Chains A and B, each alone.
Chain A
Amino acid sequence: GEDVEQSLFLSVREGDSSVINCTYTDSSSTYLYWYKQEPGAGLQLLTYIFSNMDMKQDQRLTVLLNKKDKHLSLRIADTQTGDSAIYFCAESSGSARQLTFGSGTQLTVLP
């Protein structure tokens, strides 16, 4: 079945850029998503990218997709303490829209 993998932890200094990486196995993935989960909260959709794109930028967020390597990354520019959270990547394929999630990356922003 589909598999989505992420590293578990990332620490950065406030003001630096954060890069969270994700790999997936399903070559038929059509949409790839990034969600943010703060402690005790639900999931917030940050951004998503269609598989025929290789980059999407939205304010401080940049998503890069390497479809050949099945590699997705989320770059957060000028990382702030409020960005500390768990970041999940997820993929869906076809019209079914069911999501397969990675394990989540705990981002810690150090002052």
Chain B
Amino acid sequence: SAVISQKPSRDICQRGTSLTIQCQVDSQVTMMFWYRQQPGQSLTLIATANQGSEATYESGFVIDKFPISRPNLTFSTLTVSNMSPEDSSIYLCSVVSLAGFNDEQFFGPGTRLTVL
């Protein structure tokens, strides 16, 4: 299985600031996704991170609020911009690996964000 790391693992931020979350995979992957898990809730897809081009956002999520980069096959960043307390969530990246069966989708450990 792919080994995925995220930085930071957790952070406490002030309202109005921005935080960039990094996702690093130990092998080349075909697809990378960013999900949000609000407190006590299930996971919701934010966007698909496309290598070398703009991310594909789901309904309710926009690039100005959640800019995403994916410069290569193993790395992506998600920025949460102009944060408010409603952005307090766990943010998880997930990948579909080239190395394994491409039916398997793995998740990173998540970044727990608290906005004051």
- A residues apposed to B, CB below 8 Å: 31, 33, 35, 41-45, 48, 50, 88, 90, 92, 96-104
Given contacts A42-B92, A99-B94, whether A48 and B107 have CB atoms under 8 Å apart is no
A5 to chain B minimum Cβ distance, whole angstroms, is 11
Our count of residue pairs bridging A and B at CB distance below 8 angstroms stands at 50
A interface secondary structure, majority:
strand
Contacting pair B45 A102 (CB below 8 A): no
Once bound together, how far apart are the Cα atoms of A45 and B31, in whole Å?
16
In the complex, the chain B residue whose C-beta lies closest to that of A4 is B42
Which residue, A35, A44, A96, A98, has most C-beta atoms of chain B within 10 A?
A98
Q: Which residues of A contact B109 (CB under 8 A)?
A: 41-42
Contacting pair B92 A98 (CB below 8 A): no
Contacting pair A88 B42 (CB below 8 A): yes
Tell yes or no: B83 within 8 A of A by CB: no
